[in-house]
């Protein structure tokens, strides 16, 4: 207990001091040494102080001394808080720099409270949980601002998201049981059991308390450490219970010996029958206890076998990934198939097979490879339908094999699942432009116009969640130009024409006339007779790739005439 105050100081300063070491190793380690020495001195001082206080017989003096220490600590803390800049000046420069860089808005307690509130919203919608790892795909659908987090940063809420309210109750019950055990030890045990049990309980409480605002228990080693502390408290609890039971048994034996002698003649056969019943009860309990042990053993064996197959699948996946990077499709595909066999619920393996079969198709033109790729793609999206990245990849794959409606639907689902992620919107807008141009090339002008109009209207939805983006507006500009060309007969005297809106958007978004925008700009100026000079200037700026795009656009669009 006496070490709690200096230990608290060390814990508060640990992170900034450690990062300060990374910036200036020599100075940092010096300050670590000074801090450790100061911690030992403070621990000794507090220990000496409290032992002295314990010897004071007058309660008034004893409590006065404790109150005086509390006041000194409180005044010192208030002075440090109200004179922050001055207190900071006493710290090493590297520690000062690290503390100054702490962003309390993004990494502080307020943000973690927001994450907990978001987790509770998920729990309300899914009171029985969404399964392991459910936070990652669902969080973007509930987020209220653009802040990415792969964990809840609170273990109890992480449990709630994954296992629902029943899981939270069970986890809370474990802590309630631990507190009950400590109270029993305090009431029935001796100092030999109480002191070590209390020390272990405080360590478990510190670890568990920190898990309320962090995901430390999601780390296997830390979680095992906590359960080991639970086991130690339970060990001391069992010692106390067994000791009390032995004492009561001995007393009962002494008190009842005489009574048994006096009543033996009266009990006769009935006592013998009770003994037989007791013996039968003991046998039943022994059989039940043995059954539980065997059941636990069988479950452990089953978990060992299952985890071994999962690990083998993981190893196969790693080998397949290496082959994929080298584009050795013939090696990657059978290896990934083995990985899927041993870990069939891993959607990553299924979609990696999609990429491998598609790569093999590009080399062999065998349609059977595309059929297999589609099967694995469907299975991947079935396993993880809410994942934004998977929906994006699935949508792009579907577009590549010609399923336009299916592809766009999943690209739409991708940005809906991550409404604050600008990249997901950009992928969808680029797909709309590509699909529109494909329709125009196929002379499906009505379908092309509908997709271009959808893109223009889509800008309002984008701006609901994101700030104005030049990359996004470039795609909208292209849509205005293509629609403007399709409606070019109506341009004369129409101040609200699509070309006019394209120019307004270009000025608003401050678009730069270069790269992939040049072909569309040239197309617009070509249709505007009074812009011949600008048209020729734009054509001169275009490089080979831009000229090729412009030639394709002219060939495609001028089929109208």
pLDDT confidence of residue 88: 67
- Compute CA distances 384 → 197, 471, 491, whole Å: 45, 29, 48
pLDDT confidence of residue 396: 94
CB 320 within 8 A of CB 310: no
Q: What is the dihedral of CA 323, 328, 330, 335, to 10 degrees?
A: 10
pLDDT confidence of residue 561: 40
pLDDT confidence of residue 279: 61
Angstrom distance (rounded) from CA 173 to CA 168: 8
Angstrom distance (rounded) from CA 110 to CA 128: 27
* C-beta atoms surrounding 33 within 10 Å: 10
pTM of the complete model:
0.64
Q: Taken in order 474, 477, 481, 487, is the CA torsion positive or negative?
A: positive
Element containing residue 308 per DSSP (H, E): helix 269-325
Rounded-to-5 percentages of helix, strand, coil across the chain: 85, 0, 15
* C-beta atoms surrounding 221 within 10 Å: 7
Residues in the chain: 561
Q: How far is CA 527 from the centre of its chain?
A: 52
Tell me how many helices (H) and strands (E) the chain has. Answer: 24, 0
Report the candidate in 324, 325, 316, 313 with the shortest Cα–Cα distance to residue 357.
Answer: 324
pLDDT in tens, the chain (561 residues): 444 555 555 544 454 555 555 555 565 566 667 767 777 777 777 777 777 777 777 778 777 877 887 888 788 777 766 776 676 666 666 666 656 665 555 556 677 888 888 889 989 988 888 887 778 778 877 877 767 777 888 889 999 988 899 989 998 998 998 999 899 888 888 888 888 888 899 889 888 888 888 877 877 788 888 889 998 998 888 888 877 665 555 555 555 555 554 555 444 555 555 556 666 665 675 677 677 778 878 888 988 888 888 888 889 999 999 999 998 999 999 999 999 998 888 889 999 999 999 999 999 999 999 999 999 999 999 988 888 889 999 999 999 999 999 999 999 999 988 888 889 999 999 999 999 988 888 888 889 889 999 999 999 999 988 888 888 998 998 898 888 877 764 444 344 477 788 888 888 888 877 777 778 877 777 777 656 666 677 767 777 666 676 676 666 665 544
Strand ranges for 133-278 from DSSP E: none
pLDDT confidence of residue 357: 94
Angstrom distance (rounded) from CA 125 to CA 108: 27
């Amino acid at each position: 207990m006496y070490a709690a105050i200096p230990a608290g100081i060390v814990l508060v300063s640990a992170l900034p001091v450690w990062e300060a070491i990374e910036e200036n190793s020599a100075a940092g380690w010096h300050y670590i040494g000074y801090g450790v020495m100061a911690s030992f001195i403070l621990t000794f001082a507090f220990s000496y102080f409290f032992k002295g206080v314990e010897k004071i017989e007058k309660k008034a003096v004893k409590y006065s001394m404790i109150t005086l220490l509390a006041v000194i600590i409180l005044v010192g803390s208030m002075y440090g808080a109200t004179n922050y800049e001055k207190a900071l000046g006493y710290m090493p420069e590297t520690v000062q720099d690290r503390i100054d860089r702490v962003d309390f808005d993004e990494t502080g307690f307020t943000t973690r409270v927001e994450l907990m509130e978001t987790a509770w919203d998920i729990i309300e919608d899914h009171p029985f949980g969404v399964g392991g790892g459910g936070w990652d795909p669902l969080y973007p659908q509930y987020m209220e601002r653009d802040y990415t987090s792969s964990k809840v940063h609170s273990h109890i809420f992480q449990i709630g998201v994954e296992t629902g309210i029943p899981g939270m109750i069970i986890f809370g019950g474990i802590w309630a049981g631990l507190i009950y055990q400590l109270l029993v030890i305090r009431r029935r045990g001796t100092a030999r059991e109480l002191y070590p049990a209390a020390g272990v309980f405080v360590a478990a409480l510190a670890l568990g308390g920190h898990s309320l605002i962090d995901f430390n228990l999601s780390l296997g080693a830390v979680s095992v450490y906590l359960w080991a502390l639970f086991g130690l408290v339970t060990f001391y609890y069992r010692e106390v219970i067994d000791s009390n039971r032995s004492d009561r048994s001995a007393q009962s034996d002494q008190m009842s010996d005489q009574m048994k002698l006096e009543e033996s003649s009266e009990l006769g056969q009935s006592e013998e029958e009770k003994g037989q019943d007791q013996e039968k009860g003991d046998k039943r309990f022994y059989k039940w206890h043995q059954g539980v042990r065997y059941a636990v053993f069988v479950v452990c064996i089953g978990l060992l076998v299952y985890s071994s197959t999962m690990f083998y699948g993981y190893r196969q996946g790693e080998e397949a990934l290496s082959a994929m990077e080298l584009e050795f499709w013939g090696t990657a595909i059978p290896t990934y198939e083995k990985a899927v066999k041993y870990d069939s619920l891993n959607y990553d393996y299924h979609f990696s097979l999609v990429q491998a079969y598609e790569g093999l198709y590009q080399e062999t033109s065998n349609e059977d490879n595309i059929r297999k790729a589609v099967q694995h793609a469907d299975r991947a999206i079935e396993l993880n339908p809410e994942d934004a990245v998977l929906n994006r990849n699935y949508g792009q794959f579907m577009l590549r094999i010609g399923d336009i409606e299916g592809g766009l639907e999943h690209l739409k689902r991708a940005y809906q699942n991550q409404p604050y992620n600008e990249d997901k919107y950009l992928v969808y807008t680029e797909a709309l432009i590509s699909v529109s141009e494909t329709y125009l090339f196929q002379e499906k002008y009505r379908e092309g116009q509908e997709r271009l109009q959808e893109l223009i209207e889509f800008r309002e939805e984008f701006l609901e969640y994101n700030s104005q983006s030049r990359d996004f507006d470039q795609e909208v500009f292209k849509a205005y130009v293509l629609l403007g060309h399709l409606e070019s007969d109506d341009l004369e005297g129409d101040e609200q024409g699509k070309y006019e809106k394209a120019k307004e958007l270009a000025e608003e978004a401050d678009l730069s006339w270069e790269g992939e925008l040049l072909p569309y700009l040239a197309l617009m100026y070509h249709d505007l007779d009074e812009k011949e000079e600008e048209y020729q200037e734009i054509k001169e700026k275009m490089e080979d790739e831009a000229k090729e795009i412009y030639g394709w656009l002219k060939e495609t669009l001028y089929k109208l005439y």
